[in-house]
Amino acid sequence: MPATPDQILHGHSTKPVSANTRRGHLASRQEFVKDVEAAMARVFPTRSTPYGSVAVLGVTWESDTMGCRTAEANMMNVFSNVYNFTCKTIQIPAENDSPEQFLKAKFLQFCERYAQNDSLLIFVYSGHAAVSNNYRDFYWAAQTDENDHIIEPWAQWSEFGTNARSRKGRYLHIFDCCSAIAADYHNGPELLGAAGFTPSDTASDSLENSFTNVLARLLEDLNGAPKSVAQIFAELTRARSQNGLLRTPVHLLEKDKESVVLGKQDRSRNHRTLTVEDRKKAILDLGESEYRVLISVSLVGEKSLPDSEQFTKWLTTNLPPDLRNVSIRVVSSMESDSVLLLLSMPVELWDGLPTDKTAYSFISFVKG
């Protein structure tokens, strides 16, 4: 039964609280090295097969008053004219007794037309959204009330989004809405999304810097050069102060999958993907990035607090040669129920680390 407005939280949370507070898992040095290597492989994939086709479905509400249709049209234009992707758009009718059935029919029709074993399908949504208090239901909505709660008409994601996907191909979700991460938190496809709208986001002087418009400009600047979605997320995050985003975007990798690579398709519909040389250059370009992530790592099996320089030397020695220039800095170390390290690292590396290990805890984005 659909939730009522007072059962729905309008806003953003990166994860359910229980996932952030649960403790118990510790990582050994060797496990951390393996996780770093796996993270970089997911963020900078080179073994993925180029997609035979890429199709994009853009969705907005017919009653949109926030400028979402204009912003989404800008991004769809880039996907179509710069990347040569097949693009389709739909508007959810303002007067519709069952927007879920409308969307389910449209999603199924889209998947039946474009889903192949070697295809990439991208769902794009711009508009209001919310997550339920139990974090199990995600809703798209046409409007909100004076308390910023969504009101009818709305559509429950589990009724049309999760059931419409074909088993063929890969999927990517790009959502510019509140609570975007809730759509794919439970092992869904890869997601890149906004962290939500604020009142100033909808003002005419700041609409240009909405998540969708900022992403469209970045994709246009890349001009079809192959980049993984994880790399794109990192670029958006690092440049947030320059690109005008009021909140850091959110990104979820698909479980046990490498990040989707977005690249221009040529006239024969061959999709460009990352090469080994692209990977080497991208890793070298990470360098000493000014904008980084600070995390804590709970190490098991340490008899004493590790020396920062010695730990860095050990880490460098044990990583594969192509990863030894990745800057992982020991900021501090301390004893708790284990040895706790505070490490700074590039956004890309943090983004690729497993999210189900409580040995790794995000602390903050940092500068310097």
Closest CA relative to residue 5, chosen from 146, 179, 103:
146
How far apart, in Å, are the Cα atoms of 233 and each of 57, 180, 364? 20, 14, 16
Strands 339-345 and 329-335: antiparallel
Cα-Cα-Cα-Cα dihedral sign, residues 12, 328, 189, 91: positive
Residue 181 pLDDT level (bands cut at 50, 70, 90)? confident
Residue 111's alpha-carbon distances to 64, 83, 239, in angstroms, are 25, 20, 34
Instruction: Give ∠ CA 229-37-276 in degrees, rounded to 5.
Output: 60
Q: What is the pLDDT of residues 47-104, one digit of tens each?
A: 767 898 999 999 999 988 888 899 999 999 999 999 999 999 999 997 777 898 999 9
The CATH class, in words, for 53-273 is alpha beta
- Centroid of chain to Cα 194: 9
For 6-49, write each residue's pLDDT tens digit: 343 333 334 443 333 344 578 899 999 999 999 999 999 987 67
**CA pair distance 190, 230, nearest whole angstrom:** 9
The answer to whether 219 touches 243, Cβ cutoff 8 Å, is: no
- At 164 the pLDDT is 67
Does residue 144 have a pLDDT over 60?
yes
CA distances from 81 to 72, 114, 290, 313 (A): 14, 19, 33, 47
**pLDDT of 4 above 50:** no
Residue 2 has pLDDT above 60, yes or no: no
Distance CA 143, CA 285 (A): 43
pLDDT of residue 59: 96
Q: Where are the domains of the chain?
A: 22-44+280-367, 53-273
* pLDDT tens-digit readout, 292-346: 999 999 998 887 888 888 898 999 899 999 898 888 999 998 887 788 999 999 9
- Residue 22, pLDDT score: 41
pLDDT band at 220 (very low <50, low <70, confident <90, very high): very high
Q: What is the mean pLDDT of the chain?
A: 84
pLDDT 10s digits, 331-365: 998 887 788 999 999 999 999 999 888 899 999 99
220-240 burial by CB neighbour count: b if 16+ within 10 A, else e?
bebebebbbbbbbbbbbbbeb
Per-residue model confidence (pLDDT) at position 195: 80
**pTM for this model (two decimals):** 0.89
C-beta neighbour count of 144 within 10 angstroms: 17
Whether residue 50 has a cis bond before it, omega within 30° of 0? no
